[in-house]
Chains A and B, each alone.
Chain A
């Protein structure tokens, strides 16, 4: 995610006319709304998250009145098996989302990108439409689909003679059930990113490979997938970022249950903060989450730098 990796080429490195200092007043006037707002409501809160994580207080305790707590919030969080479970569940949720999203979105992208197929424009619209529907709405729709007796999924399974997994009501299947509709909702977004990546691959490369006798499968594995590497990394990163903050379905449907099987960090943070009023512990979890996202981001930056 470094400047060198993502900056568009020719980003004004050489200019005949130097513009610096010509309109310093306008520059700061134009920059300040965005910089002040993002600074005040994103960057400062980010620093405060760490600060509060070393203090104790309720959600509306003025910062000046919070008590220093050292590392106790962190030890409290990581000694508590429930909070630890939230971290494990989130890791499983993110991992499963990646595992399902990457191959499926690639296959659908290849399908949408396949030449001279009619209806692929419409398919793209259909795929993407689920992305713009509020997650709250998606959650409610899928809770009906999953509904044990009245839901259509169980009816279908019964018709073909398969056992009903219990979906959201069984601790074994609740988390994966949440992953399934997360993938269903987000897949269109990733397909569009991958199709955008596919259009960047020059057609001549495929033609050259065909002349050399490479079949469709060979062309996919040795040209398409390697050349899409950066898009895959970006899709993977966005999947991690989007799924690590899963909150709506847990708040609306499971409240972390059954037996904490769907307790995720985001829900745990919100519950610890709002319901239990433990600002310090909630911030310690948020800080842990930030550090993990930072590590993933760092790995991605390394991956993008090592260009083949």
Chain B
């Protein structure tokens, strides 16, 4: 991929100049297609470019009209200030905790349930499966009032457990894992049973090791989803020290609204975006496969 990637890695460079060497010829049709690709890449990357340069501008430069298109002097002090002005490090760790715990439990609950749906037969199996899968399409906002009420009744308002507990299981996870567990040969499972393996050992030692790519997909999916979660922590938490990074970013946005403060806000945005971006870039092949799997039926 690294080789393929090179021409578009520098959208500013003329892709035609780079390809002529190795390609037979560049037809007008292909030139138009390449131009479209570069255009799409620029539109997608420009806001991210703006994010990076805005975080590196000095306060005076942020206030310049018209805006400067690259920082005239690099200034990294915003990356220090963001940790001083709000409890940014604490929020970052809270988010790591929320995303890590939820993604782990989602993988465990999904694999166990999916194993039953894929390999057991019992009355009502399909009905139960589709009721669970339908919850996949339910926007969290429609249940926020009763959920808040339940958490208050359980005394979990403004607690770490209250943020995470509703998200320990996920219908999409069950749906995704069932597709893959169905492909595990029954003979393999039966052989393990004949050797005296209990059902739990069948799952953990026979099925799970065969499912490494889909498990990675699900873990990444879930971690990204819970890292980005905003509405629920905003609703259930009141103490600043328990906020995840998304809620702290919202606070940072209102902390100081002058244009000179823009670089600090943007530094916070960049740090908050990096973990999911990095995880995605590492696992992008698996991740894209997982999405394709969820769509093609």
| Complex Cα gap A290–B137 (Å) | 10
Question: Do B137 and A30 touch (CB < 8 A)?
Answer: no
A21, A114, A126: the one contacting B45 at CB < 8 Å is A126
B15 proximal to A (CB < 8 A): yes
Asked if A134 and B272 sit within 8 Å, CB to CB, the answer is yes
B residues neighboring A (CB under 8 Å): 1, 4-9, 15, 19, 30, 33-34, 36-37, 40-41, 43-48, 50-51, 54, 62-67, 69, 108-110, 112-113, 115-116, 118-122, 126, 128, 130-132, 134-135, 137-150, 152-153, 157, 165-171, 174, 179, 182, 186, 190, 198-200, 203, 224, 227-228, 230-231, 234-235, 245-246, 249-250, 253, 259, 262, 265-266, 269, 272-273, 276-277, 279-281, 284, 287-288, 291-293, 295-297
A37 and B169 in contact, given A126-B41, A140-B269, A142-B47 (Cβ under 8 angstroms): yes
Tell me if B62 and A290 are in contact (CB < 8 A): no
Q: How distant is the Cα of A136 from the Cα of B265 in the complex, in angstroms?
A: 12
User: Of the candidates B66, B190, B284, which one forms a contact with A128 in the assembled complex, judged by CB atoms under 8 Å apart?
Assistant: B284
Shortest beta-carbon distance from B262 to chain A in Å = 7
Contact A132 B40 (CB under 8 A): no
Q: A126-B45, A132-B277, A244-B139 given as contacts; is B50 within 8 A of A144 (CB)?
A: yes
**Inter-chain contacts of B9 with A (CB < 8 A):** 119, 122
When the two chains form their complex, are residues B145 and A197 in contact, meaning their CB atoms are under 8 A apart? no
A38 to B1, CA, bound (A): 40
**Which residue of A is nearest B129, CB measured?**
A3
Distance in Å from the Cβ of A54 to the closest Cβ of chain B?
A: 13
Question: A158 vs B166: C-alpha distance in the bound complex, in angstroms?
Answer: 49
10 contacts between A and B (CB under 8 A): A41-B166, A43-B131, A46-B142, A122-B9, A126-B44, A130-B44, A141-B47, A141-B51, A192-B288, A192-B295
Q: Give the docked Cα–Cα distance between A140 and B152 (Å).
A: 31
Stretch at the interface among A10-18, A76-84, A168-176, A218-226: A10-18
Q: Would A152 and B113 be within 8 Å (CB), given that A46-B142, A121-B4, A286-B141 are in contact?
A: no
- Is A6 a contact partner of B297 (Cβ separation < 8 A)? yes
Tell whether, in the assembled complex, residue B281 and residue A125 are in contact, meaning their CB atoms are under 8 Å apart: yes
Distance in angstroms between the alpha carbons of A145 and B45 in the assembled complex: 13
With CB as the reference atom, state the residue of chain B lying closest to A138: B47
Candidates A145, A195, A286; contact of B142 at CB < 8 Å = A286
Asked whether A245 lies within 8 Å of B33 as measured between CB atoms, the reply is no
Return chain A residues, CB-CB under 8 Å to B198.
26
Q: Which residues of B contact A197 (CB under 8 A)?
A: 295-296
- In the complex, the chain B residue whose C-beta lies closest to that of A181 is B47
Task: Check if A299 is an interface residue, CB within 8 A of chain B.
Answer: no
Instruction: Bin the interface of chain A by size.
Output: 35 or more
A306 on the B face (CB < 8 A): no
Tell me which of A123, A196, A270 contacts B292 (CB under 8 A).
A196
Which residues of chain B are near A117, meaning CB under 8 Å? 30, 33-34, 37
**Given known contacts A111-B40, A134-B227, A135-B230, is B152 in contact with A41 (CB within 8 Å)?**
no
A232-263 interface (Cβ within 8 A of B): 234-235, 237, 241, 244-245, 247-248, 251-252
Q: For the complex, what is the distance from the CA of A217 to the CA of B230, rounded to whole Å? A: 44
Does the CB pair B153–A35 fall under 8 Å? no
The answer to whether B47 and A145 touch across the interface, beta carbons within 8 angstroms, is yes
Q: Verify if A303 is at the interface (C-beta below 8 Å from B).
A: no
Chain A hits for B69, CB < 8 A: 152
Q: Which 10 A-B pairs have the closest CB atoms?
A: A119-B8, A196-B292, A48-B146, A26-B199, A37-B169, A45-B143, A245-B139, A34-B113, A41-B166, A122-B5
* Shortest distance between the CB of B129 and any CB in chain A (Å): 8
Contact (A252, B149) CB under 8 Å given A27-B120, A34-B174, A134-B273: no
CB pair B67 A241 closer than 8 Å: no
B266 CB contacts on chain A under 8 angstroms: 140-141, 144
Choice from A8, A20, A133 contacting B120 with Cβ under 8 Å: A20
Within 8 A of B (CB), among A143-170: 144-145, 147, 149-152, 155, 158
Which of the residues A122, A130, A283 comes within 8 Å of B4, measured between beta carbons?
A122
A192–B199 CB distance below 8 A: no
Q: Is A279 an interface residue (CB 8 A)?
A: yes
Q: Given known contacts A60-B149, A121-B4, A279-B145, is B179 in contact with A8 (CB within 8 Å)?
A: yes
Q: Which residues of the partner chain B approach A140 to less than 8 Å between Cβ atoms?
A: 249, 253, 265-266, 269
A234 touches B295 (CB 8 A): yes
Q: Are A270 and B149 in touch, CB under 8 angstroms? A: no
CA of A287 to CA of B18 in the docked complex: distance in angstroms? 57
Complex contact B44–A274 (CB within 8 A): no
B186 and A17 contact, CB distance less than 8 A: yes
Enumerate chain B residues within 8 angstroms of A195, measured Cβ to Cβ. 292
Q: How far is the CB of A25 from chain B (nearest CB, A)?
A: 8
Please measure, in the bound complex, the distance between the C-alpha atom of A27 and the C-alpha atom of B160, giving whole angstroms.
31
Other-chain residue from B46, B47, B142, B169 in contact with A49 (beta carbon distance below 8 A) = B142
For the complex, what is the distance from the CA of A290 to the CA of B145, rounded to whole Å? 13
